Structure 1
Amino acid sequence: MPETLQAIIASVSALLVLAFALFSAAHAVLNKRDTRAVIAWVGLIMLLPLGGSILYWLLGVNRIKRKARALRESAGRGVLPLVVEPARVGERWRALASVGDALGLFPLCAGNRLAPLVNGDEAYPQMLEAIDAAEHSISLATYIFDHDAAGIHFRDALARARARGVQVRVLIDGVGARYSRRSMVRELRRVGVPTRLFLPMHLPRSLAAFNLRNHRKLLIVDGRLGFTGGMNIRAGNLLADPGRHPIQDLQFRVEGPVVAQMQRVFAGDWHFSSGEYLQGDAWFPHLGVAGDVFARGVPDGPDEHFETLRLIIHAAIAEARQRVTVMTPYFLPDDALIAALNGAALRGLRVDILLPERNNLRLVQWASQALYWQLLERGCRIWLTPPPFDHTKLMLVDGEWILLGTANWDPRSLRLNFEFNVECLNPALGGHLERWVEQRRAAAREITLEEADARSLPVQLRDGAARLLTPYL
């Protein structure tokens, strides 16, 4: 009798495991967009029915999308819609501008002014000055907020603002907060600054959200003045005294109606993390005309804005007529993006890709090198900018269309991270940035197809093996 019972239990358990595996595999087939991800997950589930299924439900299912949508819908209740002067886009750029409209993003609005700030030496003094001049509210979101000389300056400025009666909210990514050995989150809370972590890490409970990082960098003061770009808060961005790890980067000072879009994104992230609503004139004042730049905020992430940035990049490459310029620290494009860049080069456009000569992430550099030949053989040009490590994220099309912000050209930014970019249209701003990029290119070294092919066999094998890790880098 015991043997019969054991046999029944074993059979029932095997059937349950099989049913669980089949259900998990079917869920992956029906819900995963990337064919390679479907094959990988189904293969793992078939190889390890129980273990693979458990891993799939822990790591392969996007629960953030549903939670974010529910929270942000509730956060939007009672909030007045953004009222902006619509941009009257000329015929040349009308089709590209309509892409963001079709994706349901913020409207492309007129009346903005954007000024590039090179490195922390230019950006940090203006950001700190804005914090010290704040009268009503300060919103600060960052991926990394180091406890170093630069971080302490920001901590003290935020504490002073709080002491003046300014409403201050600081949001730091749950993974990025761990880059600093000494917690700046604890320091900010100690001096009375309301601070939250975005998806805090409490392993193993938060394992499913480990890869979903808030990579946005936003500073909005009084709802009127904004700063965004690729810059975290850390001493390495101050090249006058960077310490052991100097970083070049580009930040932007933003004024005009698009600042309200930046604030709306921050308010959604803050409500997601704290449950608090940010409403009223202190956070969303009326914004008048500040300049002549057409601009639109482009949020992207694994929630309701999934892959919007990727689609806009594809559309921009397709609309290019003369030149496409890409600057990014981490360059791991998928086959579709490589094909789009190659297609532009084959149409006779100049395609320039500027990458750091010495990357701070060795595996990413190796994986990126394994892709060079695919672009070089079709006429794209790759330039390696000299140290210090260049963290700039910028895309220019025909000297008029600009995409700036926080996203890299890699799977993590384009599929997993919460990012914020700004789409701009303005020949003066585009021309200014083209001249700045040209200065960077003049100091860079061009990689040729012959040089890429001349790598030794061990190096090619190393780079190719690193490329296999691209989905995880």
Structure 2
Amino acid sequence: MSILSYLTYFLAVLTILISIIIVMENRNPSRTMAWLLVLILLPVVGIFFYLYIGQNHRKKKTFIKKRKHDYEVLRQLLQEQASFSQNTYIFKQAFKGLRGRLIPLLMNNTHSPITVNNETKILKNGDNTYREILDAIRNAKDHIHMEYFIIKESKIGFEIQQALIEQATAGIKVRLIYDAVGCWKAKKEFFTAMRDAGIEVFAFLPVSIPLFGSRLNYRNHRKILIIDGKIGFLGGVNIGDEYLGKNPRLGFWRDTHLKIKGEALYVLQAIFLMDWYFVSGEEIDSIRYFPKQSHCGEQMIQIAASGPDSYWESIHQAYFTALTSATQKVYMVSPYLIPDESILVALKTAAISGIDVRIILPGRYDHKTVFWASRSHFMELLEAGVKIYEYQKGFIHSKIVIADNNFSSIGTANLDIRSFSLNFEVNAFIYDTDVNREMTIDFLLDLEDSKEIMLEDHKKRGVSYRVKESLARLFSPIL
């Protein structure tokens, strides 16, 4: 037999073995079929991508170990903070419907307590967000904890870098986690300058080659900033000039971030410190980072984290519950729409049952394949009565959910399989009518800058559009 024959035989055996492994993992059937299709049509590419990004992440020892440690930290924290209510029975009785289901759900699947002494400020777009962030950093008195998916060597990136360096030089404790892939274009010197100033800096799941490696698929998509344990931020805004609308192709950048004061910061701080332990090996449990909170307000908030280290896909389950429990409306904004079958069915079922379901998506793309994969779902959603709008003013990057009149979510999770299953994400779930009202007003204003996709018009789209959608959709379960 020739070498080519041996290679062909070896490739066939390897393809069969991997196919058996995929089937035995009992994945979601659509994802299983997608992987099998890739293996059959593109065996070399399929084998390569499965070995590097396709394996069952929730069974990896690294994430199991992290999950066990994280749950123990949260358990100890909840014991120490007596003001946190953990009685799921009380909430089921006190709040019927949506809140009565969501609050116990997040208590159980993330061990996230419901906090009631909170005040929030919704930050629209990069300019408002960076102004608040820089002001908070420059006024820090004890510590600064920062965790970001993307930090770019840009004008705003250097401005924040210098603010952190100045505070570290002044004796403030500064810790920074950046995602190794999200920041792979940043030069080594960018972070070295911060380390030289006394800032503790760690990359999250570094990979030796940015485009390849078994860790490539598990990215830290969180954006967390905590100042003195008193002020916290999370949401959609990374650190880069494009978030200020300076990308000439994408133009104006519409985004949403959240500033929090109050007891919800205990949980946000715990999430950061658990990630800090994962990247640095340093376990921090000092009360210094959990100061007593003065009265801030009466907003009820749960902070939920999810990722490959979570036993449950907690944010995915929360979105599903919001869709299946709402009685009036569900408004959603996301830069990407690649739902799994459960979210797709929930969206259609809610609309068919008479719920006002509206989704705002970008009218232009930052990732071409994801854009067309998102559009591949339009037909069945429109036929079910879901209203879909494409943002025309620029690029919309917000990640929000508004349901009925007393529930809202702002965070880092997109409406896609990657955010639900693969990325490390964090969302704030807010049970407050005033916040809901403000976010609804913002949503309706964004609708004015959007174009509604009409079913009859969509049916008339050209063949080239349909081909792009169909090809992109084949890869949607693994995007």
- Would you call these one fold, judging by a TM-score over 0.5? yes
Task: Write the letter of the residue equivalent to 2:77.
Answer: P
Deviations 1:177-204 (A, max 9, x none): 1244676333423433211110112039
Distance in 2, matches of 1:243 and 1:51, equals 34
Q: CA deviation at 1:59?
A: 3.3
Q: 1:216-365 counterparts in 2 under 5 A?
A: 216-239=222-245, 246-365=252-371
Q: What are the ranges of 5 or more consecutive residues in structure 1 without an aligned counterpart?
A: 4-9
- What's the counterpart of residue 101 of structure 1? 107
Distance in 2 (alpha carbons) for counterparts of 1:238 and 1:52: 38
The 3-state SS of whatever aligns with 1:282 is helix
Distance in 2 (alpha carbons) for counterparts of 1:259 and 1:180: 30
Distance 1:441 1:49 in 2: 44
- Asked if structure 2 preserves the Cα contact closer than 8 Å seen for 1:41 and 1:52, the reply is yes
Q: What residue is the counterpart of 1:67 in the other structure? A: 62
Structure 2 residue corresponding to 1:28, chosen from 17, 22, 25: 22
Distance 1:296 1:455, change over 3 A: same
TM-aligned CA deviation for residue 298 of structure 1: 1.2
Give the whole-Å Cα distance in 2 for the aligned partners of 1:233 and 1:98: 34
Number of residue pairs aligned between Structure 1 and Structure 2:
463
Pick aligned residue for 2:95 from 81, 86, 90: 90
Alpha-carbon separation, structure 2, partners of 1:60 and 1:196: 26
- Residue number in structure 1 paired with 2:77: 81
Q: What does residue 470 of structure 1 align with?
A: 476
The reply on whether 1:151 has 2:154 as its aligned counterpart is: no
Equivalent position amino acid for 1:90 in 2: F
* Alpha-carbon distance in 2 for matches of 1:56, 1:286: 48
The normalised TM-score by structure 2 is: 0.88
How many Å apart are 1:335 and its aligned residue? Answer: 2.7
**Is the CA contact 1:196–1:274 (under 8 Å) kept in the aligned structure 2?**
yes
Q: CA deviation at 1:78?
A: 7.6
Amino acid at match of 2:63: A
Give the letter aligned to residue 35 of structure 1. Answer: P
Counterpart residue number, 1:436: 442
CA distance in 1, matches of 2:301, 2:40: 48
1:172 corresponds to: 178
Change (3 A) 1:130 1:21: same
1:205-230 alpha-carbon deviations (Å, 9 max, x no partner): 97111111100000001112100000
- Asked if 2 retains the 8 angstrom alpha-carbon contact of 1:113 and 1:293, the reply is yes
| Aligned residues of 1:177 and 1:183 also touching (Cα < 8 A) | no
Amino acid at match of 1:70: K
CA contact (8 A) 1:177 1:184 kept: no
Partners in 1 of 2:470 and 2:264 — Cα distance?
A: 42
What is the aligned-residue identity percentage?
28
Q: Which amino acid aligns with 2:84?
A: E
Distance of 2:434 and 2:15 partners within structure 1: 57
Q: Is the 8 A contact 1:331 1:368 kept in 2?
A: yes
Deviation at 1:58, TM superposition (A): 4.1
RMSD: 3.1
The SS at the match of 1:287 is: coil
The CA deviation at 1:40 is 4.9
Q: Answer yes or no: is 1:456 the counterpart of 2:462.
A: yes
Looking at CA atoms only, which structure, 1 or 2, has the larger radius of gyration?
1
CA drift at 1:467? 1.7
Task: Give the drift of 1:341.
Answer: 1.0
Q: Secondary structure at the match of 1:219?
A: strand
Deviation sequence 1:211-265 (CA, Å, 0-9, x none): 11100000001112100000001122224x6666542211110111111111111
Secondary structure of the residue aligned to 2:199 is: coil
Choose 280-289 or 242-251, whichever is displaced more: 242-251
Q: Is contact 1:356–1:386 with CA below 8 Å preserved after alignment?
A: yes
The alpha-carbon deviation at position 276 of structure 1 amounts to 1.3
Distance 1:206 1:465 in 2: 23
In structure 2, the residue corresponding to 1:176 is in which secondary structure? Answer: coil
Q: Taking structure 1 as reference, are residues 172 and 254 closer, same or farther at Cα in structure 2, changes over 3 Å only?
A: same
> What is the one-letter code of the residue matched to 1:81?
L
* CA 1:464–1:39: 2 relative to 1, 3 Å: closer
- Larger RCO (CA under 8 A, 6+ residues apart): 2
Q: Out of 395, 399, 419, which is 2:401 matched to?
A: 395
Residue in 2 aligned with 1:6? none
Q: Distance in 1 between matches of 2:46 and 2:416?
A: 26
- 2:433 and 2:40 map into 1 onto residues whose CA distance is 55
Deviates most, 429-438 or 297-306: 297-306
Query: Amino acid of the residue matched to residue 382 of structure 1?
Result: I
Contact 1:235 1:243 in 2 (8 A): no
Q: Compared with structure 1, are the counterparts of its residues 179 and 395 closer, same or farther at alpha carbon in structure 2 (3 Å cutoff)?
A: farther
Q: 2:111 and 2:72 mapped to 1: Cα distance?
A: 18
Q: Is the 8 A contact 2:361 2:388 kept in 1?
A: yes
Q: CA deviation at 1:327?
A: 0.4
Listed one character per residue, the Cα deviations across residues 90-137 of structure 1 (whole Å, up to 9, x for unaligned) are 334212322212324311221111110111211111111111111111
CA distance 1:162–1:76, shift in 2 (3 Å): farther
